[in-house]
Amino acid sequence: MDLDWEKLVKRYVWHDERTPYFTRVAHLTRRQVHYEIFAYALFMGVLFGVISIATLPSWSSLYAFSVCCAAILLGTTRHPAAALWCALAPLAALGYFALYGFHPGLEIADKVLLTAVVLAGLLYSPRLVAVARAA
């Protein structure tokens, strides 16, 4: 049995219409904009919804809930202000890490991974706002 890995990856992981993350914003179709904003809004809504519940009762829970609400608004209205609020969340996370540090139970590798994920989100943020403005 011969597996065609390229075809499997193309079929299940990468799809030109549904995962257009390397397509310039100016070249995106309306459908691609919809898929990209939907995926981001779903990810941010679930992530910050869980964070808001997990950090109850604190001010960070209120902020996480506001990001969750902005993600829902972004997914439904595609408004650039909601995209900007969501795009600032990685910057807020870095500020939180700088002011309060990490959980004491985390190892160095966990801290590096968490910081790398937040930095990746920060690098993606300008694209998100540009995609929302193009919608």
pLDDT at 7: 66
For 20-40, what is each residue's pLDDT tens digit? 556 677 777 788 778 888 888
Global confidence as pTM: 0.76
Residue 20 · residue 36 · CB < 8 Å? yes
The alpha carbons of the chain give a radius of gyration, in whole angstroms, of 17
Structure-block tokens of residue 119? 């930095």
